[in-house]
Amino acid sequence: MELTEAARGRERIVVDARETFVATRALRELSLDYTGEAPRSVALVLSSGTERALVARSENGKLRVDLGATIAKGRAFTVRVVVSNALVQGTGRDRNAIGTFGGFVAQDTSEGRRMLSTLNWPKLGRTWIPLRDHPADGAMFALRATFPKRFTVVGNGKLVSSRESGESKVWEYENLVPIPSYDFHVAAYDGWKETDVAAPSGKHVHTWVYGADQPTSSVMLGELPKALAFYEKLVGPFRFEQAGFLEEPIWAGGMENAGVVSLDETLFRTPQESRTTAFHELAHHWSGNLVRIRRWNDFWLSEGFTDYLSHRFVEENDGAAASSKEWGVALGRATGSDGAFALRPGDAAEFDPVRFMNASAIPYDKGAWVLRTVEGIVGRPALDAFLHGWFARHAFEAVTTEQWEAELSSETGRDLSGFFSGFVHGTGHPELRVTLTATAAGGTRIAVDQTQAGAAFAVPVTLELSGASGGAPTLATIDLRDKHVEKEVPQTVRRAIVDPKGVLYGLVACSSDDPCRTGTSCRAGFCRAL
Ligand SMILES: [Zn+2]
């Protein structure tokens, strides 16, 4: 690509894309996603290197390329498309319009300098490059970018070369592993300062941060090598060239562009709080980037898993109290909004990713919590072993929720269909009320009612039972299946703490007589995070 017009407000980029595809069926027409200006040329690149011009027509956001002859199933072929587009002029006011703000954007940073950068999520790459723009399709991405020489240009993968040529500089990057197209990233700026630190595995954390934000960036990004080491131990090797983090003006958060994460410049004003955004984006290099989602409906496999992993790092790094607080906040957000749609919405239509972002507590917070509940059911060692295998087996593939459910059930030897039906494929959450009744024989009948509207959730719940004598409490597990279940125990129980470890996605009713577990208090009828 080349920046052919650099004047402020008139920036324009020419992309000369050579795209290699594998035909997954006999193919006469190649359908690419593209909404930019009409292509200058489209050609088939023959094995001799010569080109044959092709006819392409634009139709409803697609560029339909007549390949001239049928390409057999399984054959690879290369198409060259040249497009020229004006960069999107970012005003700074539109940045949080997730889903519509993005493409290849020219805008001023908080330093008042010009940045030219891409923001492709979820479907905006197609505004500047014709491509198969869906995470089901992974693609390698090699970049040769010619920009005015004052810019530092960053792209996914390994920096292969950079050389000055007159008033320009040519940068070459290679990312030779498949990534989702929303991860393709190019950014050019002349105000970054770079740092580079090796993690224990030898992989590098590389940062590009505005000069003025260097001091805060050490707080915000300084623990990333430790986080990288933690994730590698938990879920397997980091499989990208480097863990790069760039300060850019994007929406008020991060974007996990593989190997070259974008972090919004506003995050650097609250570096302590923003650490977790950086931990989250790094964790995407397993969930989302390494193991892609097959459909947008499976979005929780990207965001929920990523939040689960970053919560685990916070527990390791910041301690149990900080982690517990984070989980509590997430539970409040998720249970407050999970009626809108299921964690994995049904197949009637492919789900709009922007709808997920408008109720992001569902894929992110509920997603992470459902994994925490699975951890409570199968145990941490079993879940950790499963996750390690999952990311190894499906590296550079796109996966579905059905695969995750089937493999988890098979590996743990548990029938989790009832659990998935309520927590993953259903809306809402369980609301539990426990009632203790003395039996004639001197024991206690424990009744657990699910008081939420709708069907019962199937999940085991642990109760911590205390008697009158003041002895050590005992634990009992009750399998919830119906909206009312009972269990009798031989001893006198005065008090039952529901879910003492706080691993169940749901709410527990409380009153002055029914206390809450440590770390929560009774408010508006339910135990809630302090
Ligand atoms: Zn994310």
pLDDT at 429 over 80: yes
Give distance in angstroms: CA of 425 to centre of ligand 1: 21
Give distance in angstroms: CA of 411 to centre of ligand 1: 27
pLDDT (tens digit, 9 = 90+) per residue, 196-242? 999 999 999 999 999 999 999 999 999 999 999 999 999 999 999 99
Give distance in angstroms: CA of 19 to centre of ligand 1: 27
Give distance in angstroms: CA of 253 to centre of ligand 1: 9
Q: Which residue has the tokens 């499976």?
A: 298
Check the CA dihedral 376-377-380-386 and report its sign. negative
Q: Sheet harboring 495-498: ordered strands across?
A: 474-480, 459-466, 495-498
Average pLDDT for 304-320: 98
| Torsion, CA 489, CA 495, CA 501, CA 503, rounded to 10 | 80
pLDDT at 511 over 90: no
Please state, for a pLDDT cut of 90, what percent of the chain lies above it.
Answer: 96
Same domain, 43 and 133: yes
Give distance in angstroms: CA of 513 to centre of ligand 1: 41
pLDDT at 468 over 80: no
pLDDT at 499 over 90: yes
Check the CA dihedral 214-263-180-120 and report its sign. negative
CB 409 within 8 A of CB 416: yes
Residue 523 sits in a domain whose CATH number is 2.60.40
Give distance in angstroms: CA of 45 to centre of ligand 1: 37
H or E element: which one contains 452?
none
Check the CA dihedral 31-36-42-45 and report its sign. negative
The pLDDT value recorded for residue 304 is 98
The pLDDT value recorded for residue 504 is 98
Give distance in angstroms: CA of 303 to centre of ligand 1: 5
Where does residue 42 rank: exposed (0-12), middle (13-18), buried (19+ CB within 10 A)?
A: buried
* CA dist., res. 203 & res. 31, Å (int): 37
* CA dist., res. 459 & res. 479, Å (int): 6
* CA dist., res. 214 & res. 193, Å (int): 8
Give distance in angstroms: CA of 312 to centre of ligand 1: 15
Identify the domain containing residue 381 by its residue range. 292-423
Give distance in angstroms: CA of 391 to centre of ligand 1: 17
Average pLDDT for 16-31: 98
Give distance in angstroms: CA of 108 to centre of ligand 1: 25
Give distance in angstroms: CA of 299 to centre of ligand 1: 10
Residue 48 sits in a domain whose CATH number is 2.60.40.1730
Q: How many domains does the chain have?
A: 4
Give distance in angstroms: CA of 301 to centre of ligand 1: 10
* CA dist., res. 250 & res. 213, Å (int): 16
* CA dist., res. 298 & res. 451, Å (int): 29
Domain boundary among 372, 405, 423: 423
Strands 138-148 and 168-180: what pairing? antiparallel
Strand runs labelled E in 383-511? 398-399, 431-438, 444-450, 459-466, 474-480, 484-489, 495-498, 507-508
The pLDDT value recorded for residue 476 is 96
The pLDDT value recorded for residue 513 is 77
pLDDT at 514 over 90: no
Give distance in angstroms: CA of 523 to centre of ligand 1: 31
Same domain, 130 and 221: no
Cα angle 31-36-37, degrees, rounded to a multiple of 5? 110
Give distance in angstroms: CA of 256 to centre of ligand 1: 7
The pLDDT value recorded for residue 520 is 94
Same domain, 328 and 253: no
Q: Which of 169, 167, 209 is nearest to 159 (CA)?
A: 169
Give distance in angstroms: CA of 258 to centre of ligand 1: 12
Please provide the average confidence, as pLDDT, over all residues in the chain. Answer: 97
Strand partners for 444 = 438, 489
Strand partners for 206 = 196, 244
Domain boundary among 137, 163, 188: 188
H or E element: which one contains 504?
none
* CA dist., res. 243 & res. 268, Å (int): 18
Q: Which residue has the tokens 């491509």?
A: 131
Same domain, 59 and 163: yes
Amino acid identity of 373?
T
Give distance in angstroms: CA of 363 to centre of ligand 1: 10
pLDDT at 138 over 90: yes
Same domain, 131 and 205: no
Cα 448 to Cα 65, 149, 186, 501, 518: the distances in Å are 61, 69, 55, 18, 20
Same domain, 324 and 245: no
Same domain, 401 and 455: no
* CA dist., res. 119 & res. 262, Å (int): 9
* CA dist., res. 275 & res. 224, Å (int): 9
Give distance in angstroms: CA of 265 to centre of ligand 1: 17
Give distance in angstroms: CA of 392 to centre of ligand 1: 20
Q: Which residue has the tokens 């492709």?
A: 120
Same domain, 496 and 360: no
Give distance in angstroms: CA of 302 to centre of ligand 1: 7
The pLDDT value recorded for residue 321 is 95
pLDDT at 515 over 90: no
Give distance in angstroms: CA of 378 to centre of ligand 1: 25
Same domain, 159 and 32: yes
Where does residue 275 rank: exposed (0-12), middle (13-18), buried (19+ CB within 10 A)?
A: buried
**CB within 8 Å of 360: residues ≥ 6 apart:** 303
Three-state secondary structure call for residue 472: coil
Residue 236 in tokens: 């397997």
Same domain, 334 and 478: no
Give distance in angstroms: CA of 174 to centre of ligand 1: 24
Same domain, 55 and 18: yes
* ω into 122 cis (within 30 of 0): yes
Give distance in angstroms: CA of 486 to centre of ligand 1: 41
Give distance in angstroms: CA of 207 to centre of ligand 1: 19
Give distance in angstroms: CA of 41 to centre of ligand 1: 36
Give distance in angstroms: CA of 307 to centre of ligand 1: 7
Give distance in angstroms: CA of 509 to centre of ligand 1: 32
Give distance in angstroms: CA of 103 to centre of ligand 1: 18
Give distance in angstroms: CA of 255 to centre of ligand 1: 7
The pLDDT value recorded for residue 52 is 98
pLDDT at 469 over 80: no
Give distance in angstroms: CA of 360 to centre of ligand 1: 10
Length of the chain: 530
Give distance in angstroms: CA of 182 to centre of ligand 1: 12
pLDDT at 470 over 90: no
Domain boundary among 391, 406, 423: 423
Q: Which of 174, 175, 216 is nearest to 195 (CA)?
A: 216
Residue 407 sits in a domain whose CATH number is 1.10.390.10
CA R_g for the chain: 26
Give distance in angstroms: CA of 14 to centre of ligand 1: 30
Same domain, 375 and 475: no
Give distance in angstroms: CA of 383 to centre of ligand 1: 21
pLDDT (tens digit, 9 = 90+) per residue, 106-133? 999 999 999 999 999 999 999 999 999 9
Q: Sheet harboring 444-450: ordered strands across?
A: 484-489, 444-450, 431-438, 507-508
Give distance in angstroms: CA of 125 to centre of ligand 1: 18
